[in-house]
Chains A and B, each alone.
Chain A
């Protein structure tokens, strides 16, 4: 199984450990990833508002790069995923837009025909690897590890892309956690917003929005949180000290990137998965790591 792989900006900078973990886990799962080195930022939330033409050009270019390899596109960031999904939807429904974007890409000999399949790593695990094969690969079931899934927004809303009447009904992360042997918990924060997109100009929004959710995860009995989005991770992990100050309570809640949780169950060590690169220490997870002698080579 081969994918054109788009890590996005976070996984190449503040969350570099996510990119490394994704490559390690993909290798173990037999996923062949062709990383799109010349792919640009998708423009986060900002570009799509102030420069729609630029937004479509950057995102359709990413889809065209995947098409030039003849491969489906795999993403690991919620916001990037929604951006390419939105650009793709606009491209296929507006022939005028399609023509103008392709004209701008022609200088690079790139062309998008509207056929690239877009899949977040979470969906690849469910759809391409599948429950059965994935559970066969779990050499280190994470029995007893209680996990609070934090979906974030752009992997379960807007309804136009995901079709939920109520986005809280998404169970993709919980079902995955169960395959890995974990115990997913129910809590109020599952599909709440982390506030990342306003954090560059006002962190207080993110801190206020997430503090109560991390606390809910903790009081719900979670040992760790897991998220499919590096932007959520940045807020939940890097701002946790500020959340503690704001709610005047200790949280000390480790937050894992999705591939890191999968990697632990596949027998990779916390060191290999760079779990020590997080701001909140995750030593509590060491006892769930595969014993060195059992770990597959």
Chain B
């Protein structure tokens, strides 16, 4: 390790509270690469699946650091020098094939594109069955993608040739085309982590679908049939997928939200929650949570009487305001802006 004096002290002109912790936690590539020098011993705790009979264990390895060492280099060093039976996948070694994703200290990374850290816990991706050690079975994902039929259908003859198509129209689809199917997002998604609780397809299948469903040439009926199978409105918008995407695809804002917009257009029943919110805000200026729950869940929203009573007792809901549809001081502006030209 570098003694503290060796590295130039990073200087902040003033506190940027949005990034507090970034420096002390070495949360930049430069900071991470300056923490190690050749010969330093790295510690890797690698999750093995078949070492002890029937139980997962973490096997510890020490690996000598070499300059610019990637996680993949460390895994290869282990395979060559310490554990020839360690199972992990990789092919291109250059962020193209998407096969080497693992979890490093609880975060999804591509082994070929991640700088090593002094201490690392290395685990297989979550939300997919483990075949052995760091290798997961991708069948579940592949079947889901296939079920969405992510291709383009053109039932009508082409309007003209070449077809008029702008960069702006293709922006979201082409961002989705950067996907290398590495499954980092699928592993990071907390809703996928809940198993079969919902029918949510998850970020990776949605990105695959977005490649064609967000292409304006695709047949709307085809797009609707695919989106109806995705459970897309169960996305919680946590941005964990965007955070880990090695291709830097804006998965939430550039793929999931545009797909939700398609759903709202082509299969409005899927977006009932969104339309109800929009309508309440347009009419009353601000959101009344009671009205939203009643409109989305109907009488189901009243089934937990104990909670409703407690909410009432703490003054957290106001049935008079809700039922009388009392407008707020923002109602005028909201009505003008949401009921006018922007209606879509």
Using a CB–CB distance below 8 Å, which chain A residues touch chain B?
Answer: 9-10, 12-16, 37-41, 43-54, 57-58, 61, 86, 104, 107-108, 119, 122-123, 125-127, 130, 153-154, 157-172, 174-175, 192-193, 195-198, 200-202, 204-205, 208-209, 234, 238, 241-242, 277-279
Contacts and interface: CB of A to CB of B under 8 A. Distances in A.
A158 B252 contact: yes
B278 A50 contact: yes
Given A40-B330, A54-B342, 6 more contacts: A13-B289, A158-B239, A169-B22, A170-B20, A198-B236, A209-B194
Contact of A197 (B236, B242, B318): B236
B316 interface: yes
A171 B25 contact: yes
Contacts of A130: 15
B239 A127 contact: no
Given A166-B27, A195-B236, A277-B314, A40 B194 contact: no
B264 A169 contact: no
Contacts of A158: 239, 242-243, 250, 252-253
A10 B296 CA distance: 18
A197 B260 CA distance: 14
B296 A200 contact: yes
A141 B24 CA distance: 25
Given A104-B341, A158-B242, A159-B242, A50 B311 contact: no
A21 to B, nearest CB: 15
A170 B310 CA distance: 34
A205 B191 contact: yes
B281 interface: yes
Contacts of B167: none
B191 A167 contact: no
B20 A61 contact: no
Contact of A53 (B14, B289, B311, B342): B342
Most buried by B among A51, A127, A154: A51
Given A157-B243, A159-B243, A200-B297, A40 B334 contact: yes
A168 to B, nearest CB: 8
A209 B197 CA distance: 11
A54 B278 contact: yes
A38 B253 CA distance: 28
Interface stretch (B154-162, B219-227, B268-276): B268-276
B287 interface: yes
Interface of B: 14-22, 24-25, 27-29, 106-107, 190-191, 194, 197-198, 233-240, 242-243, 250, 252-253, 256-258, 260-261, 264, 271-275, 277-278, 281, 285-289, 292-293, 296-297, 304, 306-307, 310-311, 314-318, 328-330, 332-334, 336-338, 340-344
B316 A238 contact: yes
B307 A238 contact: yes
Nearest to A164: B27
A24 B37 CA distance: 52
Given A159-B242, A208-B197, A51 B281 contact: no
Contacts of A165: 27-29
A40 B191 contact: no
A160 B261 CA distance: 22
Instruction: Summarize A's interface: helix, strand, loop or mixed.
Output: helix
Given A50-B261, A171-B24, A9 B287 contact: yes
Contacts of B256: 49
4 tightest A-B CB contacts, nearest first: A171-B21, A53-B342, A193-B238, A123-B17
9 contacts: A14-B316, A49-B274, A50-B278, A159-B243, A161-B18, A164-B27, A200-B289, A201-B273, A209-B236
Given A41-B330, A158-B243, A54 B277 contact: no
Contacts of A61: 333, 337
A39 B261 contact: no
B264 A57 contact: no
Nearest to B334: A40
A154 B18 CA distance: 11
Given A13-B318, A169-B27, A175-B20, A47 B337 contact: no
A77 to B, nearest CB: 11
Contacts of A49: 256-258, 260-261, 264, 271, 274
A119 B306 CA distance: 38
A135 to B, nearest CB: 14
Contact of A279 (B260, B274, B292, B314): B314
B337 A50 contact: no
A54 B278 CA distance: 9
Contact of B285 (A41, A160, A205): A41
Given A61-B333, A108-B333, A200 B273 contact: yes
